[in-house]
Amino acid sequence: MPDGDFSRGTERRAGTPKRRGRAGCGSCALPFVIGAFLLIFFGGSYLGSPEADVEVSPYAAVGEIDGEPVVIAAYGYSGGRGMFQLLLEPMFQKRLAALDPHSGQERWDIRLNEELVSDMRVLAAGGGMVYVATDEGLYIRDLADGSSVAEPDQIAGLEGYVADQGNYDYDPELQLIVTMDEAGGLWTIPLGESSATPAGEDVTERWVHALAGSTMVDFSSPPTSRSAQVSPTALLTSAETATGAQTSSLRLSVGDQETPLGEETFFDPVIVLDSTRSIAPISADDLQDLCFFDDLYCEFTDGSYELAEGVSRADLPVMPSSTAYAAGSRNGFVILQHRGSSSGSEHLVSTVDLATGAIIDTVEIGGSGVGAGAGGGDHIVAPVDDLGGAGSVLIIDADGTISEIPVGEKGFFGTVL
């Protein structure tokens, strides 16, 4: 190249490849490759994983949001489905959900805690509040959206709270949450409020013995019985059709008179009980329970408790009766849990007319039974006792027809469907 001639620039060295402009972008495909891998990894793990286990508490409640009824159900959610949920969601969750009884759609679904072993009971829903007894204590949530109103250790006025769900209950007549502190004193929280005050003498007499004994109750088992009150004077029982028979029929007792209720027979029937505890004077059977926890009124003679000298039945405190009311009885029917055959695994729930004994409706359930009936009027709810797999709640309308809505269904990201 001549000296001073720079018009053509520096010449390329021999053997050096000639540079070319970019015709494409190999690194641009990297995000798509990574995205495809993540989709296959997380999506495949989701599709290949079993559903998470949902265990619904046997105790639910019916409340109102904006004038519309909602079912309040507590449930345990464990396992998660797919790697995304396992990585970002706690393995074990205790949750609370509000569901539309007509469509089954969740109005809200929130996590209460992440305890592995913790039973829960929805005590009541009303006055804009939801009250849930757990083994950590009492949770109070806003009925509108499930947001926290008070945690177990944050309830105003309550001193020495006890972390045991047996220390909390609901008095439907007085519309009070009742709890016992660690010193044995009773406190009450009016429905719709979140502050506790010391209980009066009337509440103490009604509840002190019931709460003292409730710590021995297994609240995780569905409350059913072979006998239940259907009115203050009428008792419904299921009895074998003959000695040793595999079928039972229903019988109605009023005073000393017992009559069959209809002609229907059932395999292993039990009556679903109302979850609201009826307050009634104690019976002879209850006397044994009362004296076991408090011998102030009793003396132990010949293997059983009797009233102490100078004590009359009028002196005894009032406590919840051991005979509960049948769920649905105020609507003119009862709810039975029974099997489809003597040896089959088919579990059924039926509503039976109290006037005629005729079956109103029957559904097959996936679980082994149902929990307590709650609510009244237009809707009664009964959680299905299903140990593993999907959870659900039965909705029994005022005419006795039964439908089922799911509880705890989650999508890919662990969010509520």
What per-residue confidence (pLDDT) applies to 245? Answer: 85
Structure confidence at residue 80 (pLDDT): 56
Give CA torsion, residues 208, 209, 215, 220, to 10 deg.
Answer: -100
Residues 6+ apart with CB under 8 A from 229: 235, 236, 278, 323, 324, 325, 326, 329
Task: Give pLDDT tens digits along the chain (417 positions).
Answer: 455 554 444 454 555 545 444 555 556 666 766 756 555 544 554 444 546 678 888 889 999 999 999 999 998 877 654 444 555 565 678 889 999 998 889 899 998 876 655 678 899 999 999 999 998 899 999 999 999 999 999 999 998 898 888 889 998 888 999 999 988 889 999 999 999 999 998 888 778 777 755 555 666 666 778 888 888 788 899 999 988 888 999 999 987 889 999 999 999 999 998 876 554 444 555 565 556 545 667 777 777 777 788 777 656 655 444 457 899 988 899 999 999 888 777 889 999 999 999 999 999 987 767 888 887 667 888 888 765 556 889 999 999 999 999 888 765 444 443
Residues 312 and 297: their CA atoms lie apart, in Å, by 9
Q: What is the pLDDT of residue 275?
A: 77
Pull the structure tokens for residue 220.
């995780």
Q: Output the pLDDT for position 202.
A: 84
Distance (Å, whole) CA 179 – CA 279: 16
The encoded tokens of residue 120 equal: 């829960």
Rounded CA-CA distance 224/324 in Å is: 9
- Kindly list the domain boundaries of the chain, sorted by start residue: 283-316
pLDDT of residue 20: 47
Q: How far apart are CA 176 and CA 277, in angstroms?
A: 12
| Measured distance CA(111)–CA(129) in Å, rounded | 16
Cβ pair 179, 186 in contact under 8 A: yes
Biggest CA-to-CA distance, the chain: 135
Position 135 scores a pLDDT of 87
